[in-house]
Amino acid sequence: MAQALPKPGLRPFLPEDVPVLAAIFTASIEELTGDDYSEAQQQAWMAAAEDEEFGKGLASDLTLIATLEGSPVGFASLRGKDHIRMLYVHPAVAGQGLATMLVDALEKLAGGRGADKLTVDASDNAQGFFGKRGYVAMQRNSITVNDEWLANTTMQKTLGSGPATGALQ
């Protein structure tokens, strides 16, 4: 008989979470983005975890932690009332619904804060995930991270109206 998977939980960010979240961030980039970004781009992106701004950003945003059996396995942060700044899940648990759980919670919180739209600057490997949730690509971006150019796409979802059907005019 198959063993049931542990039920995931959600909790708020605590300052002592920074080291484990930095490890999740790094592992996620290293193992899940290789098809979309070069090794140099991945290294530049992962270096952000070593910057003290990493922890400060998590603390200043509304950051939620996904847990399995009490251990952090993913996180997401909402900046202001309407921008998903970060969404990372450890590769060992990718595809198990944790990112969905995190974004569901952020969408509810954003709506509760009065947001009518939610935006995210989605990495190339995250675009499909957000697209399935009703986010629509608005613009392509090129950003410099530690002297490397990385591309992402600003995507937007209108909250409370179900999946979006096309780009906003």
Residue 124 main-chain phi, psi, to 5 deg: -60, -35
pLDDT in tens, the chain (169 residues): 555 667 899 999 999 999 999 999 999 999 999 999 999 999 999 999 998 889 999 999 999 999 999 999 999 999 999 999 999 999 999 999 999 999 999 999 999 999 999 999 999 999 999 999 999 999 999 998 888 999 999 999 999 755 444 443 3
Q: Chain centroid to CA 36: how far? A: 16
Beta strands in the chain (DSSP E): 8-12, 62-68, 71-79, 83-89, 117-123, 136-145, 148-158
The whole-number pLDDT of residue 3 equals 56
The whole-number pLDDT of residue 145 equals 86
pTM for the model: 0.89
Element (H, E) at 81: none
Element (H, E) at 41: helix 39-46
